[in-house]
Amino acid sequence: MYSQGVWAAPRRGTYGRRASGTEKKRVQKEQMRLVQLMVCLLLFLAVFVGKGVFPQHVQEVGGRLLVLIGQNTDFRGAFMELGQSLSEKDSVLGEIGAFCVEVFGVSPAEALPEPERLDPPEEGETQTEQEQRFLNSGPTQAALAAHYFHLEQIPEQWAVLPEAPAPTPSEPDPEPEPEPVLEVGAVVQAVDYQGRELPASYTLDRLSLGGLETVTPLLGPLWSEYGYREHPIDGEYSFHGGVDIGGNYGDAILAFASGTVEYTGQNAAYGNYLQIDHGQGIKSFYAHCSAVGVWQGQQVSAGDAVAQVGSTGNATGPHLHLELKCGGLHIDPAYYIQYKLP
């Protein structure tokens, strides 16, 4: 028993020391492989995220990172060797190793294809001049990657990488289609009127004036609107066939549209007045003017001054009484002009 103990003890001690050293080296090697694997996966994540978020800066950052890590490091070969080794293991490490082998290639000894070679540096050229010449040549993404990995040629797998799509120019917004022009006299807006019967040749409907270009004869508040009202002077409840627009004495009254002065005149009710024929049955009438500046038969354009604001005739103050007619019907001028709120 003693001789066996003396014989066995040194053997167990010697074997134990050797096994401990071997096991320690194996663990350290596995830890190093895991670290390399983590670096591999982090680089993948950085590349994929970077290409989507800031693709223009990935190449620049990648180049600086490689310089800091070491210019002569063969990362492709190291990762393939790591993947080949891990793929022989079981469980998760085997699957991760197979992933690295699939990504980086089956064997680190494979020769790189030569679809495109990078230009060698010219004689006597500094490193800064080399970089400037390379960047000025308009390199592709694959060429940039190979350049910063210090490869002499571009791998075939990189050469077929899709380039970033060019931005699609935005198309100008389509111009809105013009609204169709209704013929003169067509009903644009019908009014459901339930009040007292309207006088003959008067309507509350809004009618189309066709393509007639118009202006506002006088911009001011509406003293009195179109329709039935109590007359401000005699108190009679009657139909008011136009609108009364307040203004200052002597303000210019403009032609509602181009046309011919049909007549001018003066009476006790309207004071000084005139009427312009705009064609196609459309006419405008202006009353209570302090002065009329046109004559019968004169051609006028839209916006021409044709009279001045006054209070002649049956009026309580300076204003313009404006009437519009279309196809023999009196229509509400408020549909076709601008005016100030009281």
At 249, list the tokens: 């004495």
DSSP code for 261: E
Cα dihedral 178, 180, 182, 187, rounded to 10, equals -100
How far apart are alpha carbons 117 and 144 in whole angstroms?
Answer: 12
Q: 174 to each of 168, 178, 202, 209, 246, how far by Cα in Å?
A: 17, 12, 42, 28, 42
The tens place of each residue's pLDDT in the chain, 342 residues long, gives 434 443 344 444 444 444 456 666 665 666 666 666 666 566 655 555 554 444 444 454 454 444 444 444 454 555 555 445 544 544 444 444 454 444 444 433 343 344 445 566 667 777 777 777 777 777 776 776 666 666 666 666 665 545 566 677 777 878 887 778 899 999 999 999 999 999 999 999 999 999 999 999 999 999 999 999 998 888 889 999 999 999 999 999 999 999 999 999 999 999 999 999 999 999 999 999 999 999 999 999 999 999 999 999 999 999 999 999 999 999 999 999 999 987
Contact 118, 155 (CB under 8 A): no
How far apart are alpha carbons 204 and 189 in whole angstroms?
Answer: 9
Candidates 242, 223, 222, 339; CA nearest to 283 is 242
Candidates 223, 222, 193; CA nearest to 205 is 193
